[in-house]
Structure formats: structure tokens, C-alpha cells
Amino acid sequence: MKLSYLFFCIMLVSLAIAPLFLSSYWQSVLITFLINAILIMSYRLITTMGGWSFAHIAIMGIGAYTSGLMMTMQSPWGFWSSAFAAIIVTTVFAAIISYPVLRTRAYYFFLSTFAASEAIRQSFIQFSAVTGGTNGVPFIPRPSDILGFSLQSNMNFYLFLLAITTLVGMGFFILDKSHTGRTIKAVAANEDLSTSLGMNCWGYRTLAFVIGSAVAGLAGALLASFNGIINPSDFNSTAMFKLVAAAIVGGTTTFVGPLLGLIYLTVLEEFFRNQASWVPLLWGVSVIAVLLFTKGGIETLLPSRKSKHKKVKEEETPSA
């Protein structure tokens, strides 16, 4: 059995039984972790097309505000319909901004998405008549019962979210191993060569950006429903830095890399929760340490990756 399959099986079983032995606080921590897991999986898809976006958290915010506003209007929408609307809105938005931002590369792509992120966040603040300004959108309800299964308790909401996270993870895993996923990576590796071979590089890069953004919208809808309130500070640069740090610390070559990075940062954050001001600094130190002492994050330390690297090295070494 491949290590990635084994990792997911162990992780899934552990996450399923863990809440039975945890307090309400730790159940909330796990719920937040699962929402972030959906977010980091969607972010990894964008990194595979060769760009590191800084607008992902802000796009998540668009999904959260879309869902939150629809669920709190005078004739409120249900969770599923508002979550679907959040996915549609973020998909359309990502498709619109993909034309200008995907024309840039490397640092310019990062800067253009950072500018888009700040514009979105300022819109949350300035259009206060709709978004509530700095106060945000309160009293967002949780999803209604599913077949008599109430989602009002943290335990039940956690199991509901675990099922969604598993489905999203399976979808991304299948996409990653598919012809489309491999083509997206090939375009990122050498766009000029891919173009000369007749690949629609623009289309594949846009596809990765739009799908990743759409799933970020779903994560935003789930966050809004769980917290019951959203405001612009939920989607600031600190939250975005955590996402980028998780991808760097874990690595993005394998599917499990960013998840490992997210686990590490979550454990670090909870361990120092009484010294919260130190947490961003520790994230930064972790990123620097990974860049200095590893060749691609925690994933490079996995046994399968080390053996593969050793095999390649032996093949490259000329015999005496």
C-alpha cells in the first residue's frame, strides 16, 4: 500500500474517533482544522499551476459573506443553497480576475494577487451597508437537520464537516492523479515546451485557479456557518500567511505535504495559545528553517520520498 493511502486511512480513522475523547474546545479546534484542510487542499491545486496566490483567503471571504448574507436576509436561504451560491460567486469572481493576474508570473503574480486581496478586504469594510463594515455579519445559523441528524452540537457538526472534507479530499486526489492534473503540473514545469506541444496553457492555469477558488468559497460558507459571525479581520494577511506557511513547511510536491504542514502549524498554534503574539513569529521561523535545512518541506522527510531520492541519486552516479 502506498504511503499516501496509508496516511489518509490512519488520519481519517483518527479524526473520526478523536472527538469522542475531547472537550468542546478541542472539538472546535478540530472543526477549524478541517475547514483549513479544505482550504489548503484547494490552495495546493493553485500552486501546482506554478503560482503562489495571496488572494486565497480573501476569496474564501467572498464565499463566507455570500453565504452569510443569504442565510441572514429577511427571507433567508438554507445552508446548501447559500453554500452553492458561494461556490458560484467565487467561481465567477476567480474567472474574472484570472485574466489580469494569470498574465503575470513569479513575484508579479504574488503581488497582483496581494493587491486583489487587499481590494477585496477593503470592500468588506467600505461597503458597510451590505457587509456590516468592521462589525461583519452576525447571527449566521448552522445547517438545518439532515435526516433527523442535528448539526447544532460541535460533535455532530464535526462529523458532518469530516464527511465533506473527505469528499473534497478524494476529489482533489483524483484530480491530482488524473491526466488533467498531470498536465497542469507539466505546464507549470515548462510552459514554453507545453505550448509548443499544443497544450492550452492558459486554459489549464485558469482551470486550476478557478477550481481552487471555488472550493475556497465552500470553505468560507462552512466557516461562516460554524462561527455564526464573520468580519473582515477573519480574512486578513495573517490568515493568508498561515496558509502559505503550511504549504511551504509541508511541501507541495505530494498531496499530503500541505496537510502535514497544516498539522504542524496547528499544533504549534495550540501549544503557544497562551502566548498568541509569538505564533506568527514561530510560523516565520519554521518557514525559514524549512527553506534552509530541507529540499521541499516535511514531505521530503517521508520514507517513500527519501527512498525515491536515494534511488534517483544512485542512477545518476556513474559506476566505477
Contact indicator for 303, 310 with CB cutoff of 8 Å: no
Report helix, strand and coil shares of the chain as percent, to nearest 5: 80, 0, 20
pLDDT in tens, 13-48: 888 888 888 888 999 999 999 999 999 999 999 999
Contact 222, 80 (CB under 8 A): no
Residue that the C-alpha cell 448552522 belongs to: 142
Closest CA relative to residue 102, chosen from 158, 44, 55:
55
User: According to the model, what pLDDT value does residue 317 have?
Assistant: 44
Report the distance separating Cα 159 and Cα 77, nearest Å.
23
For the chain, count helices (H), then strands (E).
Answer: 14, 0
Q: 49: burial class by Cβ within 10 Å (0-12, 13-18, 19+)?
A: buried
Q: Residue 313: what pLDDT?
A: 44
Give the Cα separation of 246 and 224 in Å (integer).
Answer: 22
Helices within 127-250 (DSSP H only): 128-131, 154-177, 179-189, 191-196, 201-227, 237-250
- pLDDT tens for 153-182 read 888 899 999 999 999 999 999 999 999 999
Compute the mean pLDDT over every residue in the chain, rounded to the nearest whole number.
88
Q: At what angle do helices 237-250 and 257-271 cross, to 10 degrees?
A: 120
Which residues neighbour 54 within 8 Å (Cβ) at sequence distance 6 or greater? 110, 113, 114, 117, 237, 240, 244
Those residues of the chain that have pLDDT short of 70 are 1-5, 7, 303-320
pLDDT of res. 148:
77
pLDDT at position 196 is: 85
Sorted by where each begins, the domain ranges of the chain are 25-235, 236-320
Residues facing 149 on adjacent strands: 146
Distance CA 48, CA 207 (A): 11
CA separation for the pair 4, 37 (Å, rounded): 16
- Identity of the residue numbered 68: G
Instruction: List Cβ neighbours of 271 (8 Å cut-off, separation of 6 or more).
Output: none
* Cell numbers standing for residue 143: 445547517
Could you tell me the pTM of the whole model? 0.90
* Phi, psi (rounded to 5 degrees) for 137: -115, 110
Asked if residue 246 lies in contact with residue 288, where contact means CB atoms within 8 angstroms, the answer is: no
